[in-house]
Amino acid sequence: MKQIQVKNSPVAIDKFCSEMKTKFESFGIFASEGIMKLQEQLCASYNKVINDNQSGEEPVMYVMPPATGTGKTTSIKLYCAMMPKHISALIIVPKVEHAKDVCKSINDYANEEIAYCSYTVTADNPDHSLRVEIESIQKHRIIVITHERFRRDIKSKKSILGYASPNEEKDWLGRVETKNRDLIIVDEQINMIESETLESYELEKMSLLARQLPNEETKKIVNTIVAMLKSLIDESRKITAITEEKNMDWNLFISPLIEVLSSKDTSWYKLSRAEFSFRRNYKKESNEIELREGFIDALKSLCLILDRKMFFHKHGTNWTLHGVNLLYHEFGSLVVLDATSEVNKKIELMKEWISIKNENPKHFKADRRLIENIKVPNPRTYHNCKLYLCKENWVRHSRTGLNIDNEAECKLTLAPYVKSIKLNIEPHDDALIITYKDIAITMKSLIGLENANVIHWGNHDATNEYRHCNKVFIVGLNHLPYSVMFEQFSFIVGGVETAYEVEENRKIEIPKLASSKLAEDIIQGVFRSRARVSKNHDGSPDSTEFFIFLGKETNKNKEIIDLALEAMPNIQVLDWELKHSVAMPPKKNKVSEQIEMLIDVLEAYAHDGYSDVLRETIENRMAVTKVVMKRLLSNQVCINELGKAGFKYVAGIGKTKSVFIMP
């Protein structure tokens, strides 16, 4: 990890630091020696990027990990306000509200209107006096956009960076008039992976819907399309990864599909048009609507998947076809401010793989990415904060373990968590609870305290709204599917093909990445509280307590916590011993769980309007074998529960297939 070379222009570092110290004092933050050294480093990095870009140096991505609450966003605002008028900037922030705030602050600090933002107007993000249309951003010296706007413009190849011909009309973000932007800052790491999926059960569901259509012509066309989609998938399953180098003839599968959809002589053409008014002679219009929408979604997914690098992921008896687009860019030099970059290990691993690939040209394509980790001082200490870990054996932190998909069971499962939390919240406390999105509303209702805020993973970072909270509780850790971690590994090593080639490395690195992602979530979560603000002379925040339902001690759990602790030096780590009586979540045996799942799946099909469903379809949806289903259907408890729910199982005779009859 390098120390950045000090550049004292275009903004003088001592003057910048003096202004930052004044800002800290106005915010009630103690500007310790460590925090001020960090400001020197931030100003030097911004100067360095400008000097690199103006001198034509080979573009480098500088990654800096300033701790949350140490003034990194304020440093961006102030620096832009202090820049000479011939210097331009593109600032990329997480959300629209951040873009508006950054613009307003830059203008306030500069005492003139010099910064503008560009975003799509929606009900949640109305127009603003500082918003400009994307077509006019070239006219403005300082532009602030969101991560999503940046990703979207890369996808549409709108030459964000300014390296296309000056005559290129759509070269909007990267230039000011005819000049490339000097400074590019990314606040928090951007997800540069775009993914699309097609699930096996989606095709099964469409096949079942097609059987119920009364129009034979439409039914035939639908079944033809399903057959072609299945052929595509079956062919893809024969190879490990689908890439352009495999030379597969996609037209063999797609051309007939396009021909059918494009033909104006078929009812499917009308059926697939978005503006189509459904014919009134169909008996089951709801099925027709669902079928059309299902196919349109599947075909959209398929079109996107075919345009990308692909891989195939099997889970139980089901599978998913993934199309991955890695959004690499060719910026000038830029700086990324990522508070957790030292914990999530992505940049470190990326640099390692760039080196491996470039040192082995016979095995890998050259990787031209230039990345530097910049060492910055950590001015914070957390000696007056406490981290309580609940290591009870009954604790679960996965979606399955918390019964998220079954509301009634989920409430029972959450009961001991809720009781433990409520017993640790006093009337004078301000508490923050972080959990899964699916159960955030349920959790808020069960807690029932006005001084307890509940947010969910995915909405837990890049917000200052809860910086008054003195207690943080974490219920459930946001485990990501293997396929998502594979996508992240693909980005790190520089492509899906490389990820498949290095199988042994993949087996080692992906579990590590998964652990570091969970640790990163914990850090971002606990620092939503008042622990993000330095209040004391030693750089420590006011006393704050964190409570994590971790579960029994395992190597995996230990690895996650050890990584998180790297960002919280000197914090007190204590066992969270539940002194009170906690009702254990009801423990079900495997057969009971399978019976519940069977009834849930059948109820879903019944809700969708099916009169019967093939047994093999249910087996696939439940990801169980024929033997398991046979054993389940011979269980009298299962038969009784099916009867209570109104379902009937009819075993097939001869060529007749076994089906479940709906109520």
SS3 of 296-312: the string is HHHHHHHHHHHCCEEEE
> What strands, in cross-sheet order, belong to the sheet with 334-337?
115-117, 142-146, 89-93, 183-187, 334-337, 61-64, 371-373
Cite the DSSP H helix spans in 423-495.
437-447, 482-493
- Cβ within 8 Å of residue 184, ≥6 positions away: 49, 53, 89, 90, 91, 92, 331, 332, 333, 334, 335
Annotation: CATH topology of 590-661? Arc Repressor Mutant, subunit A (1.10.10)
Distance CA 36, CA 46 (A): 16
Q: Which CATH class is domain 386-575?
A: alpha beta
Q: Retrieve residue 572's tokens.
A: 């007190």
Cβ(75)–Cβ(39) below 8 Å: yes
10 Å Cβ neighbour count for 72?
A: 22
Q: Cα 353–354–355 angle (5° rounding)?
A: 85
Beta-sheet pairing, 309-315 with 318-326: antiparallel
Cβ(88)–Cβ(179) below 8 Å: yes
In the three-class reduction of DSSP (H, G, I as helix; E, B as strand; rest coil), residue 324 is classed as strand
Distance CA 306, CA 434 (A): 37
**Helices 216-236 and 200-211, interaxial angle, to 10°?**
160
Residues composing the chain: 663
pLDDT at 244: 37
**Helices 216-236 and 285-306, interaxial angle, to 10°?**
30
- Cβ within 8 Å of residue 44, ≥6 positions away: 4, 5, 6, 7, 8, 13
What does the pLDDT look like over 187-238, one tens digit per residue?
Answer: 988 887 877 777 766 666 666 666 665 566 656 666 666 666 666 556 555 5
pLDDT at 155: 62
Task: Tell me the whole-structure pTM to 2 decimals.
Answer: 0.74
Distance CA 253, CA 232 (A): 6
Number of H helices, E strands in the chain: 22, 22
Q: Where in the chain is the domain with CATH 3.40.50?
A: 13-192+327-373, 386-575
- Burial of 294: CB neighbours in 10 Å, binned 0-12, 13-18, 19+: middle
Backbone φ, ψ for residue 429 (5° rounding)? -80, 155
DSSP 245: G
- Cβ within 8 Å of residue 328, ≥6 positions away: 192, 369
User: Half-sphere exposure of residue 590, counting CA atoms within 13 Å on the CB side?
Assistant: 5
| C-alpha dihedral (604, 607, 610, 612), degrees to nearest 10 | 60
pLDDT at 369: 79
Beta bridge partners of 63: 336, 373
Integer angstrom CA distances of residue 505 from 6, 190, 490, 502, 515: 37, 25, 12, 5, 16
Q: Where are the beta strands (DSSP E) in 278-428?
A: 309-315, 318-326, 334-337, 371-373, 386-390
Q: Give the 3-state secondary structure percentages of the chain, helix then strand then coil, rounded to 5.
A: 45, 15, 40
Cβ(622)–Cβ(597) below 8 Å: yes
Q: Where in the chain is the domain with CATH 1.10.10?
A: 590-661
DSSP 527: T
Q: Which residue has the tokens 């499917």?
A: 268
Distance CA 262, CA 269 (A): 6
Distance CA 613, CA 615 (A): 6
Q: What residue ranges of the chain have pLDDT lower than 70?
A: 1-6, 154-178, 200-308, 310-319, 328-331, 461-462, 579-589, 607-609
Distance CA 613, CA 619 (A): 11
Cite the DSSP H helix spans in 56-95.
72-82
Backbone φ, ψ for residue 271 (5° rounding)? -60, -35
What does the pLDDT look like over 363-416, one tens digit per residue?
Answer: 888 887 788 888 887 788 899 999 999 998 888 888 878 878 777 788 888 989
Q: Which residue has the tokens 């006093």?
A: 426
The CATH code belonging to domain 13-192+327-373 is: 3.40.50
Distance CA 400, CA 416 (A): 17
Beta-sheet pairing, 193-199 with 318-326: antiparallel
Backbone φ, ψ for residue 553 (5° rounding)? -70, 120
Cβ(344)–Cβ(213) below 8 Å: no
10 Å Cβ neighbour count for 505?
A: 17
Q: Cα 101–106–107 angle (5° rounding)?
A: 100
- Cβ within 8 Å of residue 540, ≥6 positions away: 380, 381, 382, 383, 384, 385, 534
